[in-house]
Amino acid sequence: MLEALYGSRTIQKILLFLFINGKCYGNQVSRLLNTPLTPLQKALFRLEKGGILMSYFEGKTKVYQFNPAFPLLPELELVLKKTYMLLPAQEKKSYSLSLPENQGARFTLAEANKILMMFWQKLKEVKHLTFQASTRAKKETGWNGRGKGSVHVTQEADNVLVFQEEGNWQGVEQKETAFSNVYRWTLDRMSGMLSLEHLRRGRNHPVFLFHLIPCSKNALSSLDSHLCEGDLYFGRIFFDRHSLRLHWRVIGPKKDEEIDCFYV
């Protein structure tokens, strides 16, 4: 869809991938988007030389991201958002980081369940929440701010946990507002995945958010994006022995947000 502007389907894929995920490296994009590596590397070089991207090293891996000093970055992101919203559903899914990143290897069911059980144990121990939300949208909304609160965890079955979250958050106007959320986590060991639901309409009328699968030994990713009233939601979870981080990415006609929730 952007070929007419940039003259390359490969460059379109790179820009959309960066818009969704924030950073990338050559082999990763080549694998996930089924794109030959050599033209992709040439396109990355061209975009960096043009000032649209910048790069840095994570270990021996060269990682790319948008250059915040690029003067037309806000306008470019608006075009990318509209382009992404017009893609077919299956193509949208391909831009979400849902596959394991260790050279494309998939986990066996036993390996996936081992990771899920480590995560499940961490979920049971959660007591507190802090979060930060930021918008990339030109018109700022209430999604900018930070907050904190408490989490009461109830185990309703061997494979079901309910999070009741309450606290306060502060927007850009520094005004404090109370919030409350109820989420249900369900473990499915037969499929090697978790599901996450929002219970704002009650336990009998859950709002499904995503299925989550292991994408590394310490991370889970949404298997697909969730569509809610025109807005697409992606989720990734990172965990270690000390905490959990749930990263939300929300893209819609009036939204372009990132939210990081830290559970301890």
Which residues, given as ranges, of the chain have pLDDT below 70?
Answer: 1-7, 89-90, 93, 96-106, 137-142, 224-230
Q: Where are the domains of the chain?
A: 3-94, 109-263
Question: How far is CA 153 from each of CA 118, 163, 164, 182, rounded to the nearest angstrom?
Answer: 17, 5, 7, 10
Please write the tens of the pLDDT for every residue from 226-237: 666 667 778 889
Please write the tens of the pLDDT for every residue from 71-123: 999 889 888 888 887 887 667 767 765 444 443 446 889 999 999 999 999 99
Q: What is the pLDDT of residue 105?
A: 45
Considering the domain delimited by 3-94, tell me its CATH architecture.
Orthogonal Bundle (1.10)
Q: What is the pLDDT of residue 117?
A: 96
Asked, colleague to colleague, whether 3-94 and 109-263 share their fold, the answer is: no
Q: Which amino acid is at 61?
A: T
Q: What is the pLDDT of residue 45?
A: 93
Q: What is the pLDDT of residue 74?
A: 84
Considering the domain delimited by 109-263, tell me its CATH architecture.
Beta Barrel (2.40)
